[in-house]
Amino acid sequence: MNISILGGGLSGIALAYFLQDDERIERIDIWEKEDGIGGLCRSIRKNGYTYDIGPHILFSKDKEMLNLMLSVLKEKNDLRRSNQIIYKGRNVQYPFENDLSKLPEDDRNYCVQSFENNPYRNYVPDNMLQFFLKTFGEGITNTYLRPYNEKIWKYDPAFMDTQMVERIPQPTDDEIRRSAAGETVDGYVHQLYFHFPREGGIEAVVKGFEKRLGEKCHIHLSALVEKVARTDVGFIITAEGVENRAGIVVSTMPIQELCAVYEGMNEDIADNVRDLKYNSIQIVFVHVEEDYSGDNFAFMIPEKDVIFHRISKMDFLGEAYHRREGATYMVEITYRAGDYTDSLSEDEIKCRIEDGMVYLGFAQNSSEISFINITKHRYAYVIYDLHHRKNMNAIRSYFKAEGIHLSGRFGNFEYWNMDKVLREAGNLAARLKEKNL
Ligand SMILES: Cc1cc2nc3c(=O)[nH]c(=O)nc-3n(C[C@H](O)[C@H](O)[C@H](O)COP(=O)(O)OP(=O)(O)OC[C@H]3O[C@@H](n4cnc5c(N)ncnc54)[C@H](O)[C@@H]3O)c2cc1C
């Protein structure tokens, strides 16, 4: 039996790794359109710097998957989170609700009082905004959660469902009081300590799995999948003009891309796919001659007038990522095709970034800032809008009936991190191994 995996990101490479020991599988082909593997976990190399598509870190509640990722690395750095939210010029330690004493007095009182006297507490939330109001009250929602989420998602949280947030714990009255009184409590402790490859960026994880692939696995680079057709005895995958046969097909490429190349695609399901919402991202890598940001990693910026939602200091990740004096930052800007941000030219984006960085104190003036690289990535964040679940249920049932397996973040169109992508690849491999191939 031959298996074709469409897409050579973490899920594609990991799936081959999980499947290769099944003796009934003779050959595993991985088709990747880029000239290297990694997908969203690919690391970019420019002027001696290595950096990722967004600051990736290794953490998980799923210790088995975390340990598996760490086991394929040559060496890792163990780090402790030091993230800040910049609110009205002040650093508030992340997560916001655990460091309320840093807020101006009026805002602090607004947050505490609306938390303690919360009229929304007993509702069952229908959407993300209602969840924030119920869980945190009006003050924390309006000062931080709502503006930050509107900025990163470019989508009103009232039109997003609760899938992403429903596991966020509700702080107690006592925790909120202590946080307002000046006690900084570490929240979200499962991400407090994290790991990062000592060298090579996050791509080292995918490369680590690649090194463990045996002879029956064949990775085809620069191999854009142009057509997927079902036959009586399996599938024909056309990549770079050449037809290849496979008994089993697993698609990890974005569902939009699969839909575009699938022969005889059902039009109603294609409508479901068109209705899915996602964000693209611009990753801007900059150097500042002086370091004004201290021993911190990521800064969240809820303020609307600053174009970026997050700026991360890459030097924090270890010696290999600190190339010269001063500080090197990754700036992230989300957008969607055709929106206002997308209409800005590269020079306008650079200008806005300089303004934002000087305004927030990451540089004293724009002459201290030099741009190293700007890249754009179409598929970055799945948006759980109010139609997401209905659309994905229909899409998933359709491809299941067609005999095509979906895997990965955009393959399944779920907001999955590396640990979950890996777990799901492992689960899919186990299901395939149970089948009569
Ligand atoms: C900004 C950002 C920050 C993140 N931070 C973290 C983090 O800190 N920790 C964490 O665990 N996770 C993080 N993630 C999530 C992580 O990147 C993903 O979970 C993971 O990389 C998804 O892997 P994948 O293989 O499912 O998908 P992808 O990486 O998207 O792989 C799909 C592959 O399909 C290929 N492809 C597409 N179309 C075709 C075609 N027609 N033919 C052939 N190949 C095709 C693509 O080139 C790509 O290589 C972050 C993601 C983003 C966007």
What pLDDT sits at residue 60? 95
Four-CA torsion 171, 173, 178, 181, nearest 10 degrees: 120
Q: How confident is the model at residue 306 (pLDDT cuts 50, 70, 90)?
A: very high
CB 336 within 8 A of CB 291: no
Rounded to a whole number of angstroms, the distance between the first and last alpha carbons of the chain is: 7
Residue 92 clears pLDDT 90, i.e. is over it: yes
What's the CATH fold of domain 2-39+203-276+385-434?
A: FAD/NAD(P)-binding domain (3.50.50)
What three-state secondary structure class fits 111? helix
Cβ of 409 below 6 Å from ligand 1:
yes
| Ligand 1 lined by 187 (C-beta under 6 Å) | no
What is this structure's pTM? Answer: 0.96
CA 197 / ligand 1 centre spacing (Å): 17
What atom in ligand 1 is closest to the CA of residue 381?
Answer: 53
When pLDDT is averaged across residues 196-219 and rounded to a whole number, the result is: 98
Closest CA to 54 of 360, 379, 364, 287: 379
Using the predicted structure, report yes or no on whether residue 352 has a pLDDT greater than 80: yes
Looking at the chain, the whole-number percentage of residues with pLDDT higher than 70 is 100
Fold for the domain defined by 57-91+188-200+278-382? Polyamine Oxidase; Chain A, domain 2 (3.90.660)
Instruction: Compute, in angstroms, the gap from residue 28 CA to the centroid of ligand 1.
Output: 20
Q: Could you tell me the residue ranges of all domains in the chain?
A: 2-39+203-276+385-434, 57-91+188-200+278-382, 95-185
Average pLDDT over every residue of 310-334: 96
- How many Å lie between the centroid of ligand 1 and the Cα of residue 202? 11
377-420: pLDDT as tens digits? 999 999 999 999 999 999 999 999 999 999 999 999 999 999 99
Q: What amino acid occupies position 312?
A: S
The preferred substitution site among 35, 56, 261, 297 for testing ligand 1, maximizing ligand atoms within 8 Å of CB, is 56
226 lines ligand 1 (CB under 6 A): no
Question: Mean pLDDT in the chain?
Answer: 96
Establish whether residue 410 lines the binding site of ligand 1, counting it when its CB lies within 6 angstroms of any ligand atom.
Answer: yes
Question: Is pLDDT at 435 greater than 90 in this prediction?
Answer: no
User: Which residue's alpha carbon is nearest to atom 8 within ligand 1?
Assistant: 56
Whether ligand 1 lies within 6 angstroms of the CB of 421 is answered as yes
CB atoms within 10 A of CB 217: 20
C-alpha distances out from residue 41 to 10, 155, 417, Å? 7, 25, 10
57 within ligand 1 shell (Cβ under 6 A): yes
Cα distances (Å, whole numbers) of residue 107 to 99, 140, 183 = 12, 9, 17
DSSP state of 224: -
C-alpha–C-alpha distance, residues 2 and 31, integer Å? 13
CA 215 to ligand 1 centroid distance, Å = 25
Is there an atom of ligand 1 within 6 Å of 137 CB? no
Distance 184 CA to ligand 1 centre (A): 34
How is residue 169 annotated by DSSP? P
Residue 60 CA: which ligand 1 atom is closest? 11
Strands 217-220 and 248-251: unpaired
Q: Which residue has the higher pLDDT, 357 or 166?
A: 357
Measure 380 CA to ligand 1 centroid, in angstroms: 8
Q: Is 30 helix (H, G, I), strand (E, B) or coil?
A: strand
Position 437 confidence tier, pLDDT thresholds 50, 70, 90: low
pLDDT, tens only, 94-117:
999 999 999 999 999 999 999 999
How much is the average pLDDT of 11-34?
97
